[in-house]
Structure 1
Amino acid sequence: MKVAVMGAGAVGCYYGGMLARAGHDVVLIARPPHVQSIHRDGLRMETRSFDEHVRLAASAEAGAVQGAHLILFCVKSTDTESAGVQMRPHLPADALVLCLQNGVDNADRLRAVLPQHAVAAAVVYVATEIAGPGHVRHHGRGELVIEPARSGSFSSQAVARALIAAGVPTEVSGNVRGALWAKLILNCAYNAVSAIAQLPYGKTVQGEGVKDVMRDVVAECLAVAQAEGVQVPGDAVAAVDTLAGSMPSQFSSTAQDLARGKHSEIDYLNGLVVRRGEALGIATPANRVLWALVKLMESKHAQA
C-alpha cells in the first residue's frame, strides 16, 4: 500500500512510521527541517517498545500525495481547508483520505473542498510529541476508530487490516460521530488546563480545584452533545478521571503549540463547544473561560 501523510507532525509521524515499519511505501509531507533530517537519518521512532530509525520518504510538497492509495490527513484543524486545496490537484481519484485530527467537524470541512473524493473521519487516541527534527516520541496508547468508507475497491476495512498488522489497534465503527465527541470531551477537559499551566496531565490533575473544573467542562460538553442528538459512547466522566493515569507525562497538543509560540486548535475544541452551546441556548461558562484564557495566551505570544 502506498501511503502519504499530509501534515506529518507527532500524530502523522507515528502512524506513518508504524506503517513504514510494516513494509508499506510511506511518504511524510512535513516541514523542511523534518524532511531534511528524515532524508539524512530516517525517522527516529522512540516508543515504549522500541527505539529505532525507520527509513521512509519525506517531502515538503503537497504534490507528494500523487499515487497514494491512502492519505493520512494530520494537519491542524486551523489548516484543514487550505491543506485540502493544496493537495486536491495531485490527489488520485481512488484515494481514501483518513482524517486523523482533533475536533469533530474536520471530515465534513474537508469533504467541502474535496467533493469528488472519499473522506473518512477517524478518532485518534495516542500520546506523542515531536522531540526534534525527524524524531517522534511516543508516550502511550495508539488506537484508532475509523468511519466506514470506500473508494473504488479500497475501504476502511482494508485500512484497518493494514493498521492492525502494523501494530496499531484499529476499529471500524458506525458511530464515529459519537466517538469524536467522546475524544472532544477529553480534549476540552485537559488541553487548555495543560496549556495554561504548562504541565503534563499527571501533574495537572493534582492542582487544587482542577478536577472540579474538568467535571464542569464535561457536563457542559455532554449537554451540548445531547442537544445535537449525538450518542456519546462510554462513560465520559470516568474516561476523563482515568486519562491522566494512563499518560501522566503527556503535555496536551495545545500546551505544545503554546510552548512553541504557535496558534493552537482551541477554537475547534472548547471554542466549538461554546459556539454550539450559544446556537442551542446552552450555557458553557467553564469551556468559555478556558477558551478565552488560551486565546489570551496566544495573543500574548503573537505580540512577543
Structure 2
Amino acid sequence: MKICVYGAGAIGAYMGGRLAQAGADVSFVARGPHLAAMQANGVRLVTEEDTRVVHVRCTSDASELGPQDYVIIALKAHSVPGVIEAMQPLLGPQSAVVTAVNGIPYWYFHRHGGEFAGAKLQSIDPGGAQWDRLGPERAIGCVLYPAAEIVEPGVVRHVYGNKFPLGEPSGEQTERIVKLQEAMVAAGFDAPIRDNIRDEIWLKLWGNLCFNPISALTHATLDIIASNPATRAVSRSMMLEAKSIAERFGVRFRVDVERRIDGAGAVGAHKTSMLQDLEQGRPMEIDPLLTVVQEMGRLVGQATPIIDAVLALIKLREQTAQQTRTGHAAQPSRAATAEPPREAVRAA
C-alpha cells in the first residue's frame, strides 16, 4: 500500500510516521527546515509512551513519487487550492484522496442527494478547481481529533487524541476505505468508518467555528472561552446558527450545544490552531471554518448574524496582522465584508 502524506507538518507527520511504523509504504511531501531535518535524520515522534525515529522518503516535489494508492491531504485547508497542480503526479486512475483537513471539504455535495447534490462551494473551492482536478469521486473523508506540534524541525510531539473517523461521501463501506481503515488500525489509530461522515465533519466544525476565531480575537485558551459567560454565550449563538444550517442539509448532531462547549473546555488551557497561526505570523484558517458556513446558510436562506459579525472581525484581525508583518496596509477582501457568494456553482 503506497501512501503519500501531502503536507507532513505536525499532524501529517504523526499520521504518516505511525503508518510507516506499521509497515505501509509512506512518503512525505513537505517543505522548509522541517523537510530538511526529516530528510537528514528521519522524523522523531514523541509520545507519552516513548520516542521513536521513523525514516520516510521525504521530498518537496511530488513528481518524484509517482501515483499512490492514497494521498492524505494534511495541509491547512486554505493552502490546498494553491497545490492542486503539484499533486497531479500522485494521482493515478485508482488513487484515493483522503481529506484530513479541518472544516467543510471540497467534495461535500458529491453524492449528497437532494437539491444541492453536485454543488461546488466557492468559499473553499474557488472556481471548482479541487472538484475538477482532484475529483470528488476520489475523495474519502477523514476527521482530525488528535493534536500534535512540531517541537523543532523534524521532531513531532503528540499532544492528545487518537481518533480519525473515516467515511465515503456515499456512506458505503467500499474496499478502498476498509483497506485504509485496516492500515490506520494497524498503526494504532481509532479509525471508525462512518456511514454519514458529514455528521462527524460538522461535529468537529461546530467547535472550530466559534472557538478558533474567538481565541484569535481574545488570545484566550479553550478553558477560558468555555467558562467565561460572555464568550460562552457568543459560542452558543454561533453554534445554534450553524446547527440550523446543517440540519437543513440532513446533518444530525449526536450531542447538544452545552455538551459540545463543555467538551472543549475540558481540554484545558489549549491554544486553538487559529490562535497559534496568528501568533506565528501564518495565514489563519478562516474560510473553511466560517465563510463556508455563511455561504451554506445563504444557500438555504438562513441568516447568520453572529457568524457574520465574528467573521468580519477575524478577517479584519487577519488583515491588520498582515499589515504589521509587511508594513503595508492590506486591502479588504470580499469575504471581509461578510458578503457571501450568492449561490454555489453546480457541477456539470
In structure 2, the partner of 1:271 is 291
1:61-140 → structure 2 map (5 Å cutoff): 61-108=61-108, 110-115=130-135, 118-140=138-160
Instruction: Name the CA distance, whole Å, in 2 between partners of 1:71 and 1:102.
Output: 16
Instruction: Name the CA distance, whole Å, in 2 between partners of 1:169 and 1:137.
Output: 18
In structure 1, the partner of 2:17 is 17
Deviation of 1:167 after TM superposition, in Å, equals 0.7
Matched-pair contact (CA < 8 Å) for 1:107–1:120: no
Matched-pair contact (CA < 8 Å) for 1:75–1:83: no
Amino acid at match of 1:268: P
Instruction: Name the CA distance, whole Å, in 1 between partners of 2:93 and 2:238.
Output: 41
Task: Work out which of the two has the higher radius of gyration on C-alpha atoms and give 1 or 2.
Answer: 2
Confirm whether residue 144 of structure 1 aligns to residue 164 of structure 2: yes
Amino acid at match of 2:250: G
Instruction: Name the CA distance, whole Å, in 1 between partners of 2:8 and 2:279.
Output: 19
SS in 2 for 1:23: coil
User: Deviation digits for residues 105-161 of structure 1, max 9, x if unmatched?
Assistant: 3335534322396221221111222222122222211211111379xx951011101
Amino acid at match of 1:261: G
Instruction: Name the CA distance, whole Å, in 2 between partners of 1:63 and 1:249.
Output: 41
Matched-pair contact (CA < 8 Å) for 2:67–2:89: no
Matched-pair contact (CA < 8 Å) for 1:81–1:113: no
Matched-pair contact (CA < 8 Å) for 1:27–1:57: yes
Instruction: Name the CA distance, whole Å, in 2 between partners of 1:64 and 1:222.
Output: 44
In structure 2, the partner of 1:39 is 39
In structure 1, the partner of 2:228 is 207
Deviation of 1:217 after TM superposition, in Å, equals 1.4
Distance 1:222 1:10, change over 3 A: same
Confirm whether residue 221 of structure 1 aligns to residue 242 of structure 2: yes
Deviation of 1:77 after TM superposition, in Å, equals 1.7
Amino acid at match of 2:160: G
Matched-pair contact (CA < 8 Å) for 2:143–2:166: yes
Amino acid at match of 1:259: E
User: Deviation digits for residues 193-224 of structure 1, max 9, x if unmatched?
Assistant: 22223333224334351211111111111011
Distance 1:236 1:43, change over 3 A: farther
In structure 1, the partner of 2:215 is 194
Q: Which has the higher strand share?
A: 1
Confirm whether residue 288 of structure 1 aligns to residue 308 of structure 2: yes
Greater shift in the superposed pair: 29-38 or 84-93: 84-93
Deviation of 1:40 after TM superposition, in Å, equals 2.0
Greater shift in the superposed pair: 26-35 or 101-110: 101-110
Matched-pair contact (CA < 8 Å) for 1:45–1:137: yes
Confirm whether residue 252 of structure 1 aligns to residue 272 of structure 2: yes
Amino acid at match of 2:190: P
Deviation of 1:8 after TM superposition, in Å, equals 1.5
Root-mean-square deviation (Å)? 2.3
SS in 1 for 2:220: coil
TM-score (norm 1): 0.90
Distance 1:77 1:284, change over 3 A: same
Instruction: Name the CA distance, whole Å, in 2 between partners of 1:115 and 1:271.
Output: 22
Of 164, 176, 179, the residue aligned with 1:155 is 176
Matched-pair contact (CA < 8 Å) for 2:43–2:56: yes
Distance 1:202 1:155, change over 3 A: same
In structure 2, the partner of 1:170 is 191
Instruction: Name the CA distance, whole Å, in 2 between partners of 1:225 and 1:116.
Output: 20
Instruction: Name the CA distance, whole Å, in 2 between partners of 1:41 and 1:51.
Output: 14
Distance 1:205 1:301, change over 3 A: same
Instruction: Name the CA distance, whole Å, in 2 between partners of 1:60 and 1:288.
Output: 38
Instruction: Name the CA distance, whole Å, in 2 between partners of 1:194 and 1:64.
Output: 40
Matched-pair contact (CA < 8 Å) for 2:62–2:89: no
Matched-pair contact (CA < 8 Å) for 2:139–2:168: no
User: Deviation digits for residues 241-286 of structure 1, max 9, x if unmatched?
Assistant: 21231x3243212112111212112112122222222333322222
Unpaired runs of 5+ in structure 2?
109-124, 325-348
Amino acid at match of 1:292: A
Matched-pair contact (CA < 8 Å) for 1:225–1:232: no
SS in 2 for 1:172: coil
Matched-pair contact (CA < 8 Å) for 1:218–1:237: no
Instruction: Name the CA distance, whole Å, in 1 between partners of 2:65 and 2:307.
Output: 37
In structure 1, the partner of 2:264 is 243
In structure 1, the partner of 2:327 is none
Distance 1:148 1:267, change over 3 A: closer
User: Deviation digits for residues 1-28 of structure 1, max 9, x if unmatched?
Assistant: 2211011122211211111222222211
Matched-pair contact (CA < 8 Å) for 1:184–1:269: yes
SS in 1 for 2:135: coil
Matched-pair contact (CA < 8 Å) for 2:238–2:307: yes
Greater shift in the superposed pair: 168-177 or 62-71: 62-71
